[in-house]
Structures are given as C-alpha cells and as structure tokens.
Amino acid sequence: MQRIKADILVIGAGSGGLSVAAGASQMGANVVLLEGHEMGGDCLNYGCVPSKALIASAKAAHGQAHAAAFGVADQAPQVDYAAAMAHVRDVIARIAPVDSQERFEGLGVRVIREYGRFLSETEVQAGDRVITARRIVIATGSSPLVPPVPGLDKVPYLTNETLFGLNERPGHLLIIGGGPIGMEMAQAHVRLGCRVTVIEADRALGREDPEAAALILDRLRAEGVEIVEATSAGQVRGKAGAIDIVSTGGRIFSGTHLLVAAGRKANTERLNLEAAGIETTRSGIRTDAGLRTTNRRVYAIGDVAGGLQFTHVAGYHAGIVIRSALFGLPSRTKTAHIPRATYTDPELAQVGLTDAEARDRHGGRVEIARFDYLHNDRAIAERSAEGFIKVMVVKGRPVGVTIAGHQAGEHIGLWSLVLINNLKMSQLAAMVSPYPTIGEINKRAAGAYFSPRLFGNRTVERVVGLVQRWLP
C-alpha cells in the first residue's frame, strides 16, 4: 500500500468535489481528488448537461412545427433521434475538458481514479493507496432511486444514467415520477415525436406553487403528454419493447420504454462510513449548518448531504467548505436565497418561500405583488405571453418569488441577490430594465407592489393637489 498525505482529500469529482478541489488547490492547499467513475459526475454526464441538450433538440423540433404564428410555414419536424443523442454527447464532450483529469492535474491536484472507502476516522483507501488528510470532503453525489415496485427488476428500464445512451426513439415512453426529471424528459420526448405517459403517485411538480405547476402541466398536456396523477405504479411487467405498468388501482398503462424518475438516493454505500464515525439520515449524510459530519474533520457537500440537490447548491457548498477548511473561518449554509428552476417550456423557477409557505410563516402580513407575462411586450412579440411572476412581500421586503413563464430560470437569479441582501421592494423599483426585455417582469412586479399605494390613494392625491397649487 502506498501512503499519501494531503491537506484536503476530496471524494467524488462531480459538481461539488471539483469546485472544492479547484478552489483549494489554486489557493495553495495540497489536494488529492478521488473519482471512481466519470470525471464531472452526474451533472455533466447523466444530468443537467445532457438533459438540457436534449431539451434544446426538442425546442428546435417544436419551433419547426409551430412557426406559422410568426409567418413562417409550419413543418412536420423530421426528427433523427440518434442524431439528437449524438448532439447530446457532443455537448458533453465540449464541456468535459473543464472537468477533466488533465485540467485538474494542471491545477496541481493529485487525481486518483478509484472509489474511496474509509478505513478509520482519518484514513481513506483508494485502490492500493491509503490517503490521510487534515480535512476530508465527501462529494459522492446521488443515484436514481428505483422504487421497490414488483416486477421492475425483471423488465429493462431506463434511468437518467442510461437514457442518454439510447439511439432508437421510444415509440411510447412510460415515465414513473412527475418530478423535474420526469417533466423535463416528458416534454422533450413528446416534442421529439414519442408518445409519453407519466405516472405520478401524488401531484406532478408537487413541490412547486400549485398555480405555477398547473401552468406547466396544462402546457405539457396540450402538447400531448399524458400525465396521470395520484396513481402509483403497483406492478411492472412485460419485456423490451412492450412494457405494462399496472397501477395500484388496477389501471394498465402500456408503452415501449420505461424511464424511472422517482427520486434520488445518496451515494454512501461504498464509503464504509461507520469506520469513520459518520452518521447518516434517511436522505443522506448527517451534517451541521457548516456541512461538517459527525466526524469533525470530514465535510459532506452536494447531493450526498441529502438537502437541496442541484449543481449550484453543490457549488455553493464548496465555497462554504473552502472558507471553513482552508481559512478556519466559521461558515454556515443558508437556503433562503437558493433558487431552483425546472427547464420545461415554459420554465418554472422559485427562490425563497412559495405563496403557501409565506402565508404559513407570516400569516396576514404577506402581500403578493404579481405581474402577468400577458402585459410584457417582448413576451407578446415572441408569442410567449403565458405566465406570471409572484413576489411574496413582508413589510416591504421580498421573502419569496415564483416565476412561471418564458426564461423563468434566467430571471430568478436577480431575486436570489435580493433575498441574500434582504433588499426592499423600493430598491427593486429603482432598477431600470432595458425595453423590451422579458426581464422587465421583475421591475413591473415591484411596480405592482407600489401601484395600489400610489394610484387612487386619497392622501397622495391630496399631496399632489397641494403641490400643484404651489408650484410656479
């Protein structure tokens, strides 16, 4: 066994681990990085990047089929599914160098392509090497959760890890799970010419504001996605090309392919966490607000920490850990300003509290400032004038924002800045947005907050009347 000493050992080279390794190494720490599978982790290889690339193919197909509104004849899109998947793989290949072993070695990181396993509270084995480090960061991500549905283990099914390797277009894609993966992939596939049925045990996009979720679901249904809610997959049977899902209520849904998108489970099983005194919860590794595990020298970040599971969260966690592990500074995670977006068309984005959460927490003190895309000139020009922004305001300061509509994900970032800095609606109102942009919805939401205070207000009218009498 070769023994290696490091300042920081990072286990997992995905969104979180790579950010810690790059930051720590460039700030002078001696860093060892372990990766048992693909550099770049889920986001690059099986998650964000391939899903958004496939969504882009689907958007191109949809655009051809719906061009007449712009004075350009509709065309039935000739979709070459294998070519769309080749585009997906090309996009991954273009981004991959940024996450590659070569780049990280160039930054001075020692990269070992092995799975890591704790031997003790301070030692991790990776192949024939044992690494000891002052601080260890677990960033091993998550994997698809395959629910224990009878028969599922006997039929060929897809997950996000295999979907993007498919070359033949599914005739009829069945999807178990109506969360973000299920909904994004359902719309992408219906636009690429597949039949799609989503079976959801509860409410599709169930974590989201119901009005916002309904807008997205209505659009998906209008495009031909069959979404069956409050229905659990009770049994799965069949064979490649002919698969049945039998719901717990006895309904049968037949398709050619099955995608399981029923949630995630934290990647902890290879780590031998007991040897290091690291406790887990039902959703991942137990951490405190500073992302330290029950072993004080070990941090857990990203999906494996079992909280919000997004690439930007893994990156945010990396910053917290660098501050704490490199500089010894106290550092705590906050969640109130962390946005999320689902990249359906239209998109759905949220930061802070939803309408219902804000009312739960703040009761009658919540005011809702709302602006509809219907009145945004750019959205009208682009024939994307469906949707709304809702800002939940308490005592003049936003506590949450929901945007459902064109480019929602692009516009939620501003509100993260507002929330983390506890800005007021009056500061938002001071911003000037270029005309005509979709981004004007943000300023108009602030306008909607102040309009009832300024327009038709007797006191304001009296003051204006008085000033007008005195002005020369």
Ligand X SMILES: Cc1cc2nc3c(=O)[nH]c(=O)nc-3n(C[C@H](O)[C@H](O)[C@H](O)COP(=O)(O)OP(=O)(O)OC[C@H]3O[C@@H](n4cnc5c(N)ncnc54)[C@H](O)[C@@H]3O)c2cc1C
Which stretches of the chain bind ligand X, using CB under 6 A? 11-17, 34-38, 41-43, 46-48, 51, 115-116, 139-141, 160, 181, 267, 270-271, 302-304, 309-312, 314, 343
Give the one entry of ligand X, ligand NAD, none that residue 267 binds, where binding means its C-beta sits below a cut-off of 5 to 8 angstroms depending on kind.
Answer: ligand X
Select 39 or 176, whichever has its Cβ closest to ligand NAD: 176
Radius of gyration of the chain (CA): 25
Question: Which residue has its beta carbon closest to ligand X?
Answer: 14
Nearest to 389 by CA among 366, 407, 377: 407
Select 282 or 469, whichever has its Cβ closest to ligand X: 282
CA distance 341 to 403: 9
Q: How far is the CB of 319 from ligand X (least distance, A)?
A: 13
Q: How far is the CB of 460 from ligand X (least distance, A)?
A: 44
* 15 marked as part of a ligand binding site: no
Which residues would be at the binding site for ligand NAD (CB under 6 A)? Answer: 147, 149, 176-182, 184, 199-202, 206, 232-233, 261-264, 309-310, 340-343
Q: How far is the CB of 172 from ligand NAD (least distance, A)?
A: 17
Select 28 or 147, whichever has its Cβ closest to ligand NAD: 147
* 14 marked as part of a ligand binding site: no
Place of tokens 């960061």: 137
Q: How far is the CB of 37 from ligand X (least distance, A)?
A: 3
Give the one entry of ligand X, ligand NAD, none that residue 113 binds, where binding means its C-beta sits below a cut-off of 5 to 8 angstroms depending on kind.
Answer: none
| DSSP type of residue 170 | P
Q: How far is the CB of 409 from ligand NAD (least distance, A)?
A: 8
CA distance 456 to 410: 34
Region class of 173: left (phi > 0), else alpha (psi between -120 and 50), else beta: beta
The β-bridge relationship of strands 252-255 and 142-144 is: unpaired
Check if the beta carbon of residue 141 is closer than 8 Å to that of residue 302. Answer: yes
Check if the beta carbon of residue 85 is closer than 8 Å to that of residue 168. Answer: no
Nearest to 196 by CA among 185, 205, 204: 185
Q: Tell me the torsion sign for CA atoms 61, 41, 324, 31.
A: negative
Give the one entry of ligand X, ligand NAD, none that residue 156 binds, where binding means its C-beta sits below a cut-off of 5 to 8 angstroms depending on kind.
Answer: none
Select 140 or 293, whichever has its Cβ closest to ligand X: 140
What is the identity of the amino acid at 9? L
Find the length of the chain.
472
Place of tokens 């010894």: 328
Sheet containing strand 366-372, edge to edge, reads 340-342, 347-352, 397-405, 387-394, 366-372
* 440 marked as part of a ligand binding site: no
Place of tokens 């350009």: 72
Give the one entry of ligand NAD, ligand X, none that residue 16 binds, where binding means its C-beta sits below a cut-off of 5 to 8 angstroms depending on kind.
Answer: ligand X
* Other Cβ atoms within 10 Å of 330 Cβ, number: 9
| E strands, 312-396, in order | 340-342, 347-352, 366-372, 387-394
* 141 marked as part of a ligand binding site: yes
Give the one entry of ligand NAD, ligand X, none that residue 37 binds, where binding means its C-beta sits below a cut-off of 5 to 8 angstroms depending on kind.
Answer: ligand X
* 142 marked as part of a ligand binding site: yes
CA distance 400 to 335: 12
* 274 marked as part of a ligand binding site: no
Give the one entry of ligand X, ligand NAD, none that residue 165 binds, where binding means its C-beta sits below a cut-off of 5 to 8 angstroms depending on kind.
Answer: none
Give the one entry of ligand X, ligand NAD, none that residue 11 binds, where binding means its C-beta sits below a cut-off of 5 to 8 angstroms depending on kind.
Answer: ligand X
Select 217 or 321, whichever has its Cβ closest to ligand X: 321
* 183 marked as part of a ligand binding site: yes
Select 185 or 446, whichever has its Cβ closest to ligand X: 185
Binding-site residue ranges: 52, 116, 140-142, 177-184, 200, 263, 303
